[in-house]
Structure 1
Amino acid sequence: MSTALLIIDVQYAIDHPKWGQRNNAGAEANMAKFLAAWRGQGMPVFHIRHDSREDGSPYAPGQPLHAFKDVVKPVMGERVVGKSTNNAFVGTSLEADLKKAGADKLVITGVLSQHSVDVTARMAASLGFNVTVISDATAAVEVTDERGKHWPADDVHALTLAHLKADYAAIKSTTEVLANLTA
């Protein structure tokens, strides 16, 4: 069995101002390190692309911001899975594709921690995959809750990772995972 890398929703759309302040400015650079390591080892890579159905969404197909960011752009032979919900498993072939690739472990990077990263990691764990979410290769945005309380992106990120760690995934840094990969 092998470990697959999932890079979730790293499209130019994430830079649209509608999302507000974001944390982990270096997340994409860390994702690129994972991508280089996975490619170097010939391990399976899956690029998850959000294909929004919402009117006016920067993630909508055909919009200029829909494209993958250059730093993590897929190359020939890497699987691209388009999704129209936050969950990369719903309405897609991801589970079957991972099994076909022999993947029983997933390393998850991408955006947003509190949206697609969270729900995809939870679903992956529920499907029996061993899941690791990379704390510094994922990013969150600020949120205002129903009470009007503002939550900075760092707090949203930390809380999301704490919930994932409690039941669904190991939470590790880029340095930790890449050190073990080359060991």
Structure 2
Amino acid sequence: MKRLAATIPALVLILAGCSTADTSDEQSVEGAEGEFLAAHGLDGMEVPEMIDHLDRLGGQERPTSYMASIRSEELLFSDGEQDLALDMPDDLFYLSVAPYVNQTHDCYYHSLTTCQGELTGQDIQVRILDQASGEELVNDEVTTFDNGFAGFWLPRDVEGTIEITYDGLTGTSDFSTADDGATCLTDLRLA
């Protein structure tokens, strides 16, 4: 279900992670949703495409006319006049990871429009394991986006470990793709 919330200050939406919705008139919600997405150049994209597009942007390319934030269940937008919550895929969880050497920031819910990591455009080796089964979910070399993050679509309800190697340095961190799991991992220090 897609929802368009009444005007709520962006800070409340981003911090609280909730919105009010009136879906009694589904046709008007769809129309308002479409207008919102078109106004911000996101129309015609599915939620995973929007996330992939926005997470790859950095510096001057990043939108400043709205905020976009990822929760386990929703992709949230706010432009100060309208707020929009789009459902995430039922079977997948998006985890955005910013490994660091010298500096990081505290983060729980990844902001596609403001989060900035230290290592931009760097090749990193990533290994992601499901702790319960031992299954290797990812084992690949990836390049961090212009925002210093690398994003991964993982199965839901997994407790795991992520290990990253970069320039002879290695770091690990635990993660969870449960409903209350963090979508922004910024505590993976490379040493």
TM-score band, normalised by the shorter chain?
under 0.3
Counting strand residues as a fraction of each chain, which structure ranks higher? Answer: 2
Instruction: Say which structure is richer in helix.
Output: 1
TM-score of the pair, normalised by structure 2 = 0.27
Q: Indicate the structure (1 or 2) with the bigger Cα radius of gyration.
A: 2
Q: TM-score, normalised by structure 1?
A: 0.28
